Amino acid sequence: MSLEEYVVEKAIGRGHFSTVHRAVRKQDGTRVALKKVAVFDTLDAKARERTLREVKLLQTLPSHASIIQYIDSFIENNELYIVFEWAEHGDLRRLLRKASEEGTPLSESQVWRFFTQICMGVNHMHEYRVMHRDIKPANIFLAANACVKLGDLGLGRAFSSQTYEAMSKVGTPLYMSPEVLDGRGYEWKSDVWSLGCLLYELATLRSPFKSVGDKDNLYTLFKKISTGQFEKLPTDYSKTLCELVRAMLQTDPTARPDMKTVLQVASKALAAHERAETQAAADSAGDGRRDTNADCFIVMEAVLDKLKLLDYEKGLLRQRNLPPLPRGYFTSESLWPAKAQFQYLYKLLCWLLQLTSSKGDHDLWRLLSPDALDADALSCAQTLLDAIGKAGAPIAEHAQLGPHKLRAAAGIEVCKLLNTMTNVALSAAGFAWSQPQRQAEAEIEDEIEGEADAEDDADDADGDHDVLDDCLCEEDLGDGSLAAPPLHMPLLASSVPPLLWREECERVGPLLQLRVPWQSLHWRHRVALVREHAPHAAHAADAAAPALERVGEAAKRDSEQLAPLFAEQRRIAEASRVPSERLAAAQQHLATLEQELLALEAATAKARDAALAKGAMLSDNSAVVEMQAATRKMRLEAKELAMRVGMLQQELMSRRGQQRRQPSPAVSALKIGGLEELSNDSMSQGDDDR
């Protein structure tokens, strides 16, 4: 793999030592994200290790739909290149900032939808013993196929089977857990804290520990995080969301839920909100109101069921790397850009057209590229509608939809088109349409009563009629309904020889045994079990009676023999009670003395350290020694200066004597000037020495 295999486009992000470019793989035209790191020129050893650790984590961690996919990595021109899956719509931070600026918070169903996908990615990492350690909106990306993906594993940490916590303080302060800030060891629950901060921010569009106006310094921020001080969520959100945020933002890591529990709560909440939306749409349709969005939900509910019958997970999602289709994705304008919706709709319609066409595969797939412009998308929509018009009835009836409506990828017309195409695809796959046949309630009651009467007649013939037979009548629930289906069902005829059936049953019989508590069975089945096993149990009880009598007599003799031993044991226990109490009191007193001794030893050691410190301070005479050395030096310099002054004075007197003998004006002036200059030089030299 080399850089020549990619068409590198503009830079879309920059870091301290790396740059992320948008690129296209020449081999198949796939758009990717290309991260370039100057790993050998500008990075120090620590940063280089972090980058290489990220590559290693990406290579060893199995792929997941909620994690940015690692494609390849290579080194070229002394730079490291990492190829990632392309996330067309940027990161979650930009989306939240835009929503905050426009004053449009996310609905709770959107919050759960985002959060559940993120939890799936983090749970996948934890299952493979990998911590993310830097979960925040900037590291969560929005793909073009309506999927939220977790990325940037640069601070990730892989744990071995013997490692249970980490110590390094890494991450982003707003999302760091208290144990990370305090420098304590931390483990998987630290990611749970970061996810709790993220869930709070999805609901309120701001971090739980960030004040309005960004006035907090790091000290104030760390204090808030360490004490868990944050504003409560608005009352508009459900009790489940508020309680989950509060549980995940516990300062004690052991009090936080684990990742599996968080994922279960989020999944259940998302399913509940989707059911509520579907029910609201159905209620709106039942009331006769023309709520187009509600009609879309009803139609898409049926479309999703039919897509599952067509096994679209295998035929479309895995082949085209798409996530499961959300229920309300094509119902109306959603939070996702229309471009992403049209990309998904185009691929879905191409697949359904392939299933309904007698010619099989077609060339429509390659027409729409991931970065197609609006004009190209409209052209692709028109081409697709032309192909739909040639498909024949009833699909051709939707060819008049228009490219602009198809390009919008939302609305009742689009949902009806999908419904029609899934119907035709099911018919082409051999599915038959028919109304369900339901047996009348009167016939069911007559059938059950007939079976009960037949059982009663059989029991009367055997002479085993008892009070239990009265329980075989219908169970009265107050509304005339029956509590359970009949016990005996009609047999089905089989073309397999009985011998082969017997051999197969003997082979798989041990694997198919199911142990069910008798309390969970219906009362009819329990009565049947009692009737089946009661005669055998009664016969076995009669046969076992003599043996039980012998065992009782032997137990009675043994108890008589053991009675003196039990009395002796009680006497010994009573006699040893007082010494035991004294021993316990002595041990408690000894433990108290040991604690006092440890306290005295600690106080003694502390006093000894303080005395040593004081002694070191008192015995430190280095300053006195330095002053004495400086004094001796000054005395020597003074003696030397006095000696030089005497020599100069003597020389000056001798020169004056010579001048008195034969003075010459010019010479005298010259000598006197030279002598004064020499005297001045000597005096200045003496001053310098001083």
Give the 3-state secondary structure of 581-626.
HHHHHHHHHHHHHHHHHHHHHHHHHHHHHHHHHHHHHHCCCHHHHH
Q: Is 24 helix (H, G, I), strand (E, B) or coil?
A: strand
- State yes or no: 136 annotated in a binding site: no
- Whether 57 is in a domain gets the answer yes
Please report the pLDDT score of residue 170 as a whole number.
45
Q: Give the Cα separation of 480 and 474 in Å (integer).
A: 9
Distances (CA, A) of 305 to 293, 330, 332, 348, 650: 19, 15, 20, 15, 125
Rounded CA Rg of the chain:
46
Please report the pLDDT score of residue 409 as a whole number.
82
Q: Is residue 253 located within the same domain as residue 310?
A: no
| Of 428, 443, 463, the domain-final residue | 428
* Domains: count for the chain: 4
Q: Which of 675, 670, 643, 684 is nearest to 656 (CA)?
A: 675
**Residue whose tokens read 């031993």:** 565
Q: One-letter amino acid identity for 579?
A: P
Q: Is residue 366 located within the same domain as residue 414?
A: yes
Q: Is residue 194 located within the same domain as residue 68?
A: no
Q: Is 688 left (phi over 0), alpha (psi -120 to 50) or beta?
A: alpha
Q: Would you say 9 and 22 are in contact if contact means Cβ atoms under 8 Å apart?
A: yes
Q: Give the Cα separation of 272 and 256 in Å (integer).
A: 23
Please report the pLDDT score of residue 332 as a whole number.
65
Q: Give the Cα separation of 186 and 164 in Å (integer).
A: 8
| Of 428, 453, 472, the domain-final residue | 428
Q: Which of these is catalytic: 134, 152, 191, 295?
A: 134
Burial of 396 (0-12, 13-18, 19+ CB in 10 A): middle
| Of 386, 412, 428, the domain-final residue | 428
- Whether 342 is in a domain gets the answer yes
Kindly report the CATH number assigned to the domain that includes residue 18.
Answer: 3.30.200.20
Q: Is residue 170 located within the same domain as residue 255?
A: yes
As a dihedral over the C-alpha atoms of residue 551, residue 556, residue 560, residue 561, rounded to 10 degrees, the angle is: 0
Please report the pLDDT score of residue 247 as a whole number.
93
Q: Which of 32, 101, 108 is nearest to 70 (CA)?
A: 32
- Whether 332 is in a domain gets the answer yes
Q: Is residue 113 located within the same domain as residue 144?
A: yes
By residue count, the chain amounts to: 690
Distances (CA, A) of 641 to 84, 629, 655, 679, 682: 83, 19, 21, 13, 10
Q: Is residue 42 located within the same domain as residue 177?
A: no
- pLDDT tens digits, one per residue of 193-246: 999 999 999 999 988 888 765 556 777 888 888 888 888 888 888 999 999 999
Q: Is residue 96 located within the same domain as residue 203?
A: yes
Q: Give the Cα separation of 309 and 324 in Å (integer).
A: 14
Q: Is residue 28 located within the same domain as residue 61?
A: yes
Spans of the chain below 70 pLDDT: 16, 41-43, 144-146, 153-171, 212-216, 278, 280-295, 332-338, 358-361, 370-376, 393, 399, 433-496, 513-516, 518-522, 524, 618-620, 662-690
Q: Is residue 176 located within the same domain as residue 71?
A: no
Q: Is residue 79 located within the same domain as residue 96?
A: no
Q: One-letter amino acid identity for 674?
A: G
- Whether 503 is in a domain gets the answer no
Q: Would you say 331 and 300 are in contact if contact means Cβ atoms under 8 Å apart?
A: yes
**Helices assigned H by DSSP within 472-522:** 498-508
Query: Token pair of 321, please?
Result: 């790397």
Q: Is residue 7 located within the same domain as residue 56?
A: yes
- Whether 494 is in a domain gets the answer no
Please report the pLDDT score of residue 480 as a whole number.
36
Q: One-letter amino acid identity for 492?
A: L
Q: 81 forms bridges with which residues in the sheet?
A: 36, 74
- Whether 345 is in a domain gets the answer yes
- pLDDT tens digits, one per residue of 292-325: 555 677 788 888 888 988 888 888 888 888 888 8
User: Is 134 assigned a catalytic role?
Assistant: yes
Query: What's the per-residue H, E or C state across 67-99?
Result: ECCEEEEEEECCEEEEEEECCCCCEHHHHHHHH
Q: Give the Cα separation of 113 and 107 in Å (integer).
A: 10
Q: Is residue 120 located within the same domain as residue 263?
A: yes
Query: Token pair of 245, please?
Result: 């945020």
- Whether 205 is in a domain gets the answer yes
Kindly report the CATH number assigned to the domain that includes residue 161.
Answer: 1.10.510.10
- Whether 340 is in a domain gets the answer yes
Beta strand extents in 168-292 (DSSP E only) = none
Tell me the residue range of the domain where 131 lies: 92-274
